[in-house]
């Protein structure tokens, strides 16, 4: 079976206050590798842990696994063929990576990252 996923790249937690929560997690994971008012990223050595400011969409999936893919457009098309729906549109992040979220028919949100 062909897979579109390379590996599990990141797990993102949606939180009420990114700055306060990142201070707590800094004690566990060390200094973040990226920090803004709305998103903080830690590298644990084998997976990244992201903290993202919660919003109205984070109610369904407050923890989102992000899978690394070679081609995000092909991965989106593949998941749409299995009745996933776009949950958060594809965007280009500050670091140049493309990210998006899709939601399954069972209300599970997953993310895709193309670096």
Instruction: For residue range 3-61, list pLDDT tens digits in order.
Output: 889 999 999 999 989 999 999 999 999 999 999 999 999 999 999 999 999 888 876 55
Indicate the pLDDT class of residue 95, thresholds 50, 70 and 90: confident
What pLDDT score was predicted for residue 61?
Answer: 52
pLDDT at 57: 81
CATH classification at residue 9? 3.10.180.10
The 10s digit of each residue's pLDDT in 74-85 is: 999 999 999 999
Burial per residue of 13-31, b for 16 or more beta-carbon CB atoms within 10 angstroms, e otherwise: bbbeebeeebeebeeebee
Query: How confident is the model over 64-82, as a mean pLDDT?
Result: 96
How many distinct structural domains can be found in the chain? 1
**Residue range of the domain that includes 77:** 5-114
């Amino acid at each position: 079976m062909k897979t579109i996923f390379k590996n599990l790249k990141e797990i993102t937690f949606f939180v009420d206050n990114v700055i306060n929560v990142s201070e707590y997690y800094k004690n566990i994971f060390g200094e973040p590798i990226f920090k803004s008012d709305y998103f903080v990223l830690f590298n644990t050595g084998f997976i990244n842990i992201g903290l993202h400011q919660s919003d109205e969409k984070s109610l369904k999936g407050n923890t989102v696994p992000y899978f690394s893919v070679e081609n995000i457009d092909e991965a989106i098309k593949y998941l749409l063929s299995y009745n996933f729906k776009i949950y958060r549109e594809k965007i280009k992040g500050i670091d140049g990576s493309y990210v998006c979220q899709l939601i399954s028919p069972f209300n599970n949100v997953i993310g895709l990252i193309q670096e």
